[in-house]
Structure 1
Amino acid sequence: MYKGRIARFDAPGTPFEIHTVSLPEVRPGEILVRVTRTNICGSDLHAWHGSFATRGLGGQLPTVLGHEMVGAVEALGDGVRADSNGALLEVGTRVVFPYFFSCHSCRNCLSGRRNACLNLRMAMLGRADEPPYFVGGYGDYFLLPAGAVVYTVPDSVSDDAASGANCALAQVMYGLERVDQQLGESVVVQGVGALGLYACAVAKARGAANVIAVDGVAERLDMAVAFGADHVIDITEVTTSKDRARAVRKLTDGQGADVVVEVVGHPSAIDEGLQMLGQFGRYIEIGNINIGKTFEFDPSRFVFANKTMVGVSLYEPAVLSRALTFLEQHQHHLPLDRLAAACYSLDDINEAFAAATGKRDVRASIIP
């Protein structure tokens, strides 16, 4: 019997309620993880506000939100001995894992597209009023289903750094891999919250010659420079989309960007980002998950310039292993401690969400 707390999410816009629940057993193949840190991601905020309807993905209420997490093995079900790289697992081993779970046997999984699994399950979608209860990151425990991909966190990587690996970091890594960002290319990052900051760092590590960050929060733009941006564009100073596109062209010798990453999360950013692209530019769309919101753009500009837009949802699970390697190799020159520096207890989760909504924190974290 495993007893612990969850921050139950009953309906959009309502306060979280702390409940103590009990998991009778850990079944064969499952892994019970003691959560040590869960960040507040933009999708958690959207779900809490009701602008991201988890029911559209098969989600049920009440549930437990939270997916960008790190933890330690609390219990191993029968048959579980190693992580997905073959490293031995035991009680106390620190782990991260994709927050979505593929069947590994459907047509998409067998085609190497596990992030499009036809039987996909995900954290934040299960019911929190029936076993196993621990279905999201905002709780003392999270139960990994049988067959889940899981990776051991290297000893040199702290929980603070690892907590963002299974969503923000892996997501932008996968996006840049999808468009095959090359050495010497120019990359624009629209929005430098956590995903945008990671995008700056990863683009630079992949050899981008010029990384340009676009945002309206001065502190975030300062952090973007620390994460690898060569130039910043403050939308409170460069106030029109035409002027911002002109600024990008000036910073790229008149050519426009090779890659633009959208992590603002609002459709109004898309047409502007497409204007920033040069010939054969690739646009990575990650941030817009609010169904029904649209934008207008001139398709002739898209066609004549041979531009490409790539929608990126989730990531191939193996990317998470590479994200841990990235942290091992680059953490010492990145101010990761500033990324999720605001920490709240589980009991203070409502205060944490209020702070995240007001953008007082770049990435707030819940520490049970």
Structure 2
Amino acid sequence: MFTGRIARFDAPNQPFTLTDATLDEVRPGEILIKVIRTNICGSDLHAWHGAFNTKGLGGQLPTVLGHEMVGKIAALGDGVSADSDSRPLQEGTRVVFPYFFSCHRCHYCLRGQRTACEQLSMAMLGNAEQPPHFVGGYGDYFLLPAGATLYQVPDSVPDELASGANCALSQVMYGLERANQTFGETVVVQGAGALGLYAVAVAKARGARTVIAIDGVAERLELATAFGADHVIDLTDVTEAKDRAKRVRSWTSGRGADVVVEVVGIPAAIDEGLKMLAMHGRYVEIGNINIGRTFDFDPSRFVFGNKTMIGVSLYEPDVLSRALAFLEEWQHKIPLSRLGAATYPLDQINDAFAAAESKRDVRASIVM
């Protein structure tokens, strides 16, 4: 029997309620995680406000938000002895894992498209009032279902870096992989929050000649430069979209960017980003997850420019293994540790969300 706290999410725009929950047993194939640290991701903020409709994805209320986490093995169900890279597991092993779980049997899973699983489930969607209760990252425990993908965290990678691997980092890695971004190309990143900063760093690691970051927060732009951006555009300085597009073209011999990555979450940013693309450019759309929001654009720009838009939701689970390898190699080359500087205990989760909402913290984390 395991007893721990959860920060229950009852309704949008309402404070979290800290309560105790009990798990009677860990069944065969399941893995109970003792959560160490869970970040506040942009989608957590959207869900908190009700803009990211968890109920529309099959979720229930009350639930437990939080998905960008790192933890240690608290208990292994029968039949589990190794991670997805065949490394042995035991109680106390530090691990990360995708926060979504595919069935491995449906039409899409069998085609290798597990992000489209017809039986997909994920953290933040379970009912916190029903067993196993520990259905999100903002709690002392999280229960992994049978068949879940997970990886050991290298000893050299600290918790504050590992906690972002299973969402922000893996997501942008997957997006840039799907865009086939490669050596000598120019990449524009719209937004320099955690996703954007990771996108800057990963694009550079993949051989981008020039990376341009766009944001309106001075600290984020300074961080983007530290993460490898060759140029930055301050929205408070260059206030017109047409002038921002001109800046991009001035830095790309008039051609525009080979790849543009959108991680702002504002529909209007898409039209602006498309205008920054070069001929045969690829637009990677990650940030707009709120259903029903629209924007106007001229589709002929796609046709005559032979351009491509790539929608990226989740990632193939094996990307997470590469994300850990990236952290292990690059943690001393770029200031990755600055992404996890602001920490709050679980009983201060409401203060943490307020800080994240106001952008007072580039990244806020809940530590157990």
Q: Scaled by the length of structure 1, what TM-score is found?
A: 0.99
Counterpart CA distance in 2 for 1:100 and 1:140 is 19
Question: How many Å separate the matches in 2 of 1:116 and 1:226?
Answer: 35
Please provide the CA RMSD for this pair: 0.5
Q: Which residue of structure 1 lines up, in the alignment, with residue 279 of structure 2?
A: 279
1:1-368 correspondence runs (5 A): 1-368=1-368
Shift of 1:216: 0.4
Map Cα deviations across residues 257-313 of structure 1 (whole Å, 9 max, x no partner): 000000000101000000000100000000000100000111112211111100000
In structure 1, stretches of 5+ residues that fail to align are: none
Q: Partner amino acid for 2:147?
A: G
CA distance in 2: counterparts of 1:21 and 1:313, whole angstroms = 31
- CA distance, structure 2, for counterparts of residue 106 and residue 323 of structure 1: 26
SS at match of 1:197: helix
1:278 counterpart SS class: strand
SS of corresponding position for 1:314: coil
Residue-by-residue CA offset, 1:106-135 (whole Å, 9 max, x unaligned): 110111111111100100000001110000
Opposite residue 367 of structure 1, the aligned amino acid is: V
Deviation at 1:322, TM superposition (A): 0.4
State the Cα distance separating 1:363 from its structure 2 match: 1.1
After superposition, the C-alpha distances for 1:222-281 in whole angstroms (9 at most, x for unaligned) are 000111111000011111110000100001111100000000001010000000001000
Instruction: Give, in whole Å, the separation in 1 of the partners of 2:57 and 2:139.
Output: 22
- Deviation (angstroms), 1:362: 1.1
Q: Secondary structure at the match of 1:130?
A: coil
C-alpha deviations, 1:4-42, integer Å up to 9, x for none?
Answer: 000000000100000011100100000000000000000
- 2: CA distance between counterparts of 1:106 and 1:206? 33
Q: Structure 1 residue 149: deviation in Å? A: 0.3
Count of matched residue pairs: 368
Which letter maps to 1:325? Answer: A
1:166 match: secondary structure: helix
Q: In the TM superposition, what whole-angstrom CA distance separates every residue of 1:147-188 from its partner, at most 9, and x where no partner exists?
A: 000000001111111000000000000000001001000000
Whole-angstrom CA distance in 1 between matches of 2:113 and 2:302: 27
- Identical columns (%): 74
The aligned amino acid for 2:223 is M
Deviation at 1:334, TM superposition (A): 1.5
What code does the residue aligned with 1:156 have?
Answer: S
Helix, strand or coil at the partner of 2:72: strand
List gaps (5 residues or longer) in structure 2.
Answer: none
Q: 1:355 Cα shift? A: 0.5
Could you tell me how far apart the structure 2 residues matched to 1:172 and 1:56 are? 24
Indicate the SS of the match to 1:333.
coil
Distance 2:301 2:315 in 1: 29
